[in-house]
Chains A and B, each alone.
Chain A
Amino acid sequence: MTSLDKSTDVATLGHGDAPLLEVDDLYVEFHTRDGIAKAINGVSFHLEAGETLAVLGESGSGKSVTAQAIMGILDMPPAVVPRGAVRYAGRDLLTMSPKERRKIRGPEISMIFQDALSALNPVFPVGWQIAEMFRVHKGMNRRDAQAEAIRLMERVQIPAAKDRVRSYPHQFSGGMRQRIMIAMAIALNPRILIADEPTTALDVTVQAQIMALLQEIQEESGMGLILITHDLGVVADVADRIAVMYAGRIVESADVLPLYADPAHPYTEGLLASIPQLEQKGKELYAIKGLPPSLLRMPDGCKFNPRCSRAQDICRTDDPELREVVPGRWSRCHFAEEVLGD
């Protein structure tokens, strides 16, 4: 490889074969007073330009921690990354200096959060907060940056953007606030956008609008989108591939349609079964029994075995590997073929 000039656009560095983003055997631990909480235990996935990867899991499954590790915004300490790599266009982000990393964060990879009211700074106008991206990363003056902020607010369909650029976050509705977050995240045309539960705090109708907006922006810009959610309904229409996380690991990964049609892991099977269906009206709703394991005290063998209806002796002793069951379908289950066959 030729020597890397710092000013070189990272986009030109990507080799034909290197994925846009590659998370490779990532581990994240939190060193707490009660012990070491193993939040992420060997997560690997990749993302291509223009692709939408949904990361699905319940609270505490490690999906948000994964996102924050990619962004490099984990609080260290208490967080520690003992192993693994996060390669952006072939370059490992985890070994970069903080300064280099900041040049990627925002301009190349950006992120939107669940609750836009708390994620936006309450004491600065929204336009100021969007314009800050241009002022800090592009060295733009106030007026030009403000004009860019208005352009972006129009782009995310905020009515009367020009008049509202000086308003504060609390003066917007939830949906409009999330649009502001999106405007801020896409300000510098990042190649990857990580959306951490972007619609969880919103009404159902507004959820659909926000998802449509994200999809539209993605189609226009060709960026890769990582959609973190616990909502199977949101995922189905939008995502290309799904990675299901449980206890800090990916337990199943597949294209959307095959996964919905026929899951290859008991956990995914349980998740799909818990979606309320109209024909079930009057019957009891299905729920996966038990609770996710404590990150401080993981069970032996398969981490899902205490809650799994298919668990056998081998599940309580041997931890299964994530393996390709059929081409393009990965599952971390000793009996993946049987689950897939049902």
Chain B
Amino acid sequence: MGKYIVRRLLQMIPVALGATFLIYAMVFSLPGDPTTGKCGERNCPPEFVAAFNEKYNLDDPLLVQYGKYMGNVLQGDLGEAQSGLPVSEELSERYVITFKLGGMALAIEAVIGILAGIVAGLRKGGFLDALVLVSTLFVISIPVFVIGNVSQLFFGIELGWFPVTVPFEPSLFDLFMPAMVLASASVAYLARLMRSSMAENLRSDYVRTANAKGLGPSRVVGVHTLRNSMIPVVTFLGYDFGALLGGAIITEGIFNIYGVGGYIFQGISDQDGIAVVSSVTVLVVIYLLMNLLADVLYGVLDPRISHD
């Protein structure tokens, strides 16, 4: 197991390098002039442009720029955004909030998705199963920005249950509605995954054996079926956490949350390569680590998978 983890960590290096380079290249190739608007309602004087380009290595070829940037990152310096603030400072504040949001969304996804999946899978073709299938299809079909804006309007303004936007230092309650919105599509996918996993395992031979052993229904379902049905679900949750952090960009925009998403969005519109690439690099690394965690969990849950 230890060897496996080390090998996976080593494999992450080329993946992280490749991912950051692609992002760097994409920001680099964005059309437009990064100094636009930096000097009020006029073009910047040539001296400013020259100094600006000098400071951010913008005159160098792409590879050299990237090399210089990565050299700093490896020394723990994520660079300075165009605003003049160090990226690492900004990110450390913002990641706390984004993590809170993503973590809440993951918890909501796990609880609701698994419960709904169990209820549906236990009686395939029954009323609750149909309810889960129809409601999840409904949620999957609607884009997240529509769900976000509609719930903002309905639960925030009409009913007044939740704050419409999220304050600068949000409490868990403030983040509840955004987390629900962020989790919505994932809940639907997870419920369906759990449902089919349950239904499939209930028909399996070892469940028949469990019945033949004279075990009660709660043990047959709760121990023998559930444990097997959870294998794909837990793995999915692990992979999905990274996706939730990425998906937070839209949700954070809707609810005006001071998180990483907003920072990346701002960075893209400002063509602030350093800010975007540094934020995304951190996302990439988190995503890779979560994937590794999910794979390790897979081996723990399913003894047939060996990580030696």
The 3 closest A-B pairs by CB, nearest first: A106-B214, A105-B214, A118-B205
Write out the residue numbers on chain A whose beta carbons fall within 8 Å of the beta carbon of B206. Answer: 118-122
B215 & A121 in contact (Cβ 8 Å cutoff): no
B216 & A102 in contact (Cβ 8 Å cutoff): yes
Write out the residue numbers on chain A whose beta carbons fall within 8 Å of the beta carbon of B304. Answer: 122, 168, 170
B227 & A123 in contact (Cβ 8 Å cutoff): yes
B215 & A71 in contact (Cβ 8 Å cutoff): no
Chain B binding surface, main DSSP class: helix
Write out the residue numbers on chain A whose beta carbons fall within 8 Å of the beta carbon of B231. Answer: 123
Q: Does A110 contact B (CB under 8 A)?
A: yes
Cβ < 8 Å to A, chain B residues 271-308: 301-304
Residue contacts A-B, CB under 8 angstroms, 29 given: A73-B211, A73-B212, A105-B211, A105-B212, A106-B213, A106-B214, A106-B215, A107-B214, A110-B212, A115-B205, A118-B206, A119-B205, A119-B206, A120-B209, A122-B228, A123-B227, A123-B231, A123-B301, A123-B302, A123-B303, A124-B227, A132-B213, A133-B213, A136-B215, A136-B219, A168-B304, A170-B303, A170-B304, A181-B209
Cβ < 8 Å to A, chain B residues 210-247: 210-216, 219, 224, 227-228, 231
Write out the residue numbers on chain B whose beta carbons fall within 8 Å of the beta carbon of A168. Answer: 303-304
Write out the residue numbers on chain B whose beta carbons fall within 8 Å of the beta carbon of A106. Answer: 212-215
Write out the residue numbers on chain A whose beta carbons fall within 8 Å of the beta carbon of B216. Answer: 102, 136
B214 & A103 in contact (Cβ 8 Å cutoff): yes
Task: Given the known inter-chain contacts A121-B224, A122-B304, A123-B228, please indicate yes or no for A132 contacting B205, CB distance below 8 A.
Answer: no
Interface string of A97-115 (1 = CB under 8 A from B): 0000011111100110101
B163 to chain A, nearest CB (A): 44
Write out the residue numbers on chain B whose beta carbons fall within 8 Å of the beta carbon of A83. Answer: none
Task: Given the known inter-chain contacts A118-B206, A122-B228, A122-B303, please indicate yes or no for A132 contacting B215, CB distance below 8 A.
Answer: yes
Write out the residue numbers on chain A whose beta carbons fall within 8 Å of the beta carbon of B208. Answer: 73, 113, 119
Cα distance, A122 to B209, chains bound together (Å): 12
Q: Does B204 contact A (CB under 8 A)?
A: yes
Cα distance, A122 to B305, chains bound together (Å): 11
Residue positions of B touching A, CB distance < 8 A? 204-206, 208-216, 219, 224, 227-228, 231, 301-304
Minimum CB distance partner of B215 in chain A = A136
Minimum CB distance partner of B302 in chain A = A123
Write out the residue numbers on chain A whose beta carbons fall within 8 Å of the beta carbon of B228. Answer: 121-123
Write out the residue numbers on chain B whose beta carbons fall within 8 Å of the beta carbon of A119. Answer: 205-206, 208-209
B208 to chain A, nearest CB (A): 6
Minimum CB distance partner of A67 in chain B = B212
Minimum CB distance partner of B211 in chain A = A73
Q: Does A137 contact B (CB under 8 A)?
A: yes
A136 & B214 in contact (Cβ 8 Å cutoff): yes
Task: Given the known inter-chain contacts A121-B209, A122-B206, A123-B303, please indicate yes or no for A137 contacting B214, CB distance below 8 A.
Answer: yes
- Count how many pairs of residues, one from A and one from B, have CB atoms less than 8 Å apart in the complex: 69
A135 to chain B, nearest CB (A): 10
Write out the residue numbers on chain A whose beta carbons fall within 8 Å of the beta carbon of B209. Answer: 113, 119-121, 181
Interface string of A47-65 (1 = CB under 8 A from B): 0000000000000000000
Residue positions of A touching B, CB distance < 8 A? 71, 73, 102-107, 110-111, 113, 115, 118-124, 132-133, 136-137, 168, 170, 181, 184
Cα distance, A122 to B302, chains bound together (Å): 8
A134 to chain B, nearest CB (A): 11
Minimum CB distance partner of A73 in chain B = B211
Write out the residue numbers on chain A whose beta carbons fall within 8 Å of the beta carbon of B302. Answer: 122-123
B21 to chain A, nearest CB (A): 41
A136 & B213 in contact (Cβ 8 Å cutoff): yes
Q: Which residue, of A113, A119, A121, has the highest number of chain B Cβ atoms within 10 A? A: A121
Write out the residue numbers on chain B whose beta carbons fall within 8 Å of the beta carbon of A102. Answer: 214-216
Cα distance, A102 to B215, chains bound together (Å): 7
Write out the residue numbers on chain B whose beta carbons fall within 8 Å of the beta carbon of A115. Answer: 205
Cα distance, A187 to B226, chains bound together (Å): 25
Write out the residue numbers on chain B whose beta carbons fall within 8 Å of the beta carbon of A137. Answer: 214
Minimum CB distance partner of A72 in chain B = B211
Residue of A111, A136, A170 touching B212 (CB-CB under 8 A): A111
Write out the residue numbers on chain B whose beta carbons fall within 8 Å of the beta carbon of A73. Answer: 208, 211-212
Q: Which residue, of B204, B212, B301, has the highest number of chain A Cβ atoms within 10 A? A: B212
Write out the residue numbers on chain B whose beta carbons fall within 8 Å of the beta carbon of A111. Answer: 212
Minimum CB distance partner of B202 in chain A = A75
Task: Given the known inter-chain contacts A118-B204, A119-B205, A123-B227, please indicate yes or no for A71 contacting B212, CB distance below 8 A.
Answer: yes
* Other contacts beyond A132-B213, A168-B303: 18, CB < 8 A: A71-B211, A73-B208, A73-B211, A104-B214, A105-B211, A106-B212, A107-B214, A110-B212, A113-B208, A121-B228, A123-B231, A123-B301, A123-B303, A124-B227, A133-B213, A136-B214, A170-B303, A181-B209
Q: Which residue, of A122, A181, A184, has the highest number of chain B Cβ atoms within 10 A? A: A122
A113 & B219 in contact (Cβ 8 Å cutoff): no
Write out the residue numbers on chain A whose beta carbons fall within 8 Å of the beta carbon of B224. Answer: 121
